[in-house]
Amino acid sequence: MKFVPCFFAGIALALFGSSAAALAQSSGASGNGLQLEWNARLRHEQVDSAAYAPHAYADTLRLRLGIRSEVGHGWSYFVEGAGTASAGDHYNSGANGQAQYPSITDPKGAELNQAWLAWQGDAASAKAGRQEVALDNQRWVGTVAWRQFEQTFDAVALRWKAGARWVFSYDWLDRVNRVAGPDAINPLARHRDLNTHLLHGAWSRGQQQVVGYAYLHKDKDVATASTATYGVRWIGKPAAEGGFGWSVEGARQYDYANNPQRFANNYWLAEPSWTAWGITGKLGWEFLGGDGRHALQTPLASLHAFNGWDDQFAVTPAAGLQDYYAAFNGPLGASGLARQFSWVVAYHEFRAVRGSVRYGSEWDASLSYALVPGLNAMLKAADYRADRYGRDDTKLWLQLEWVGKQPL
């Protein structure tokens, strides 16, 4: 019965979103350079964990609302606020003190999500202020967009397109604003002060891209989180009609700056894929090194996208992590209503690097439906079965999301 209010609110949001989306599409630009942008997300999430007696469930509604302006001569700015409302406290949000429940990191509250000034030239661009930073597949730096409060950075971002095939970027991060929101009980879960330098270069030709990076991450608040990571990434996308694709990556991570520890850990990724009839299947092996005392970490990543949706491995165990996985995705059909549905099924086998101890396994699955342009519904589940790491854990999500923009 707890889901009934969320269900009827979802129907109302869907009907309102359908009408508003049609209105936005039919409206012409006003020509004054101002644009209203929004992202509304209604979500029911529930967690059944063997580590807790009560189940957790959260019904939350998130709204991000922003104003974008193109002011001329390449200059623009964007200001966006975010707020999350919650129906009840039957979960540990990190800010409500309900530690007897499993964690669902979607606290209620409000914050300034983005506020930046940017300049765009023919071959170069610059942006300063609170902003999203997402590099490559977000394995090292991302927005954590899955949670209701996303991860943003107080940063300066520079981009330079050096010819048809080369793109270079540099980001300086002064602070990370984390997904636990501004009212988290633990102050380190609200934000961290940084002095982080992200150097990134990409060469592209046809369907292939080679990336080199150096991420020099200094965490002023938690010295043991400071690391220097150097790596290379090579991806090949299948042709439009399908075929073979791949992602291959290797990196080495060291202690850096104020970190009192001494370590060096490897990262490896091999992910071949094949696309046919609109369905993509991939096999993967991801290796996060660990020596039993220290392990490779990716604290600025969009972690929910990696190592299973149950988020058992947001912190890499000291013995390291090997993730062997298979995943398939595609539409339900080639045309008509079935094509508006998309599905994902994945299986993960988790093992330690040292001793190949089996941590556990996980099944993930989702089904999404595009109601109208900009309005999407999703059913998603994750089931983790523990062996030598963590406890059995099952999560379920029901979600409705409406994204749009309207000239003012």
What is the C-alpha separation between 88 and 378, in angstroms, rounded? 22
pLDDT digits (tens, 9 = 90+) for 43-57: 999 999 999 999 999
175-186 pLDDT, tens digit per residue, is: 999 999 999 999
What's the pLDDT at 31? 53
pTM: 0.91
- Judge residue 35's burial from the number of C-beta atoms within 10 Å of its C-beta, 0-12 exposed, 13-18 middle, 19 or more buried: middle
Residue 14 has pLDDT above 60, yes or no: no
Q: Give the distance from CA 42 to its chain's centroid.
A: 17
Residue with tokens 């961290």: 192
Of all residues in the chain, the percent with pLDDT exceeding 70 is: 92
Q: Which of 26, 301, 9 is nearest to 139 (CA)?
A: 301
d(CA 124, CA 5): 49
Residues 6+ apart with CB under 8 A from 3: 44, 57, 59, 398
**Per the structure, how many domains does the chain have?**
1
Q: Give me the residues paired with residue 149 across strands.
A: none
The predicted-structure confidence for 123-175, as pLDDT tens digits, reads as follows 999 999 999 999 999 999 999 999 999 999 999 999 999 999 999 999 999 99
Reported as a pLDDT band with limits 50, 70 and 90, residue 3 is very low
Mean pLDDT of the chain, nearest integer: 93
Residue 25's domain is classified under what CATH number?
2.40.160.10
Tokens 């080199």 -> residue: 212
Q: Which domain holds residue 330?
A: 4-407
Lowest-confidence pick of 97-106, 225-234, 329-338: 329-338
**Per-residue pLDDT tens digits for 306-349:** 999 999 999 999 999 999 999 999 999 888 888 899 999 999 99
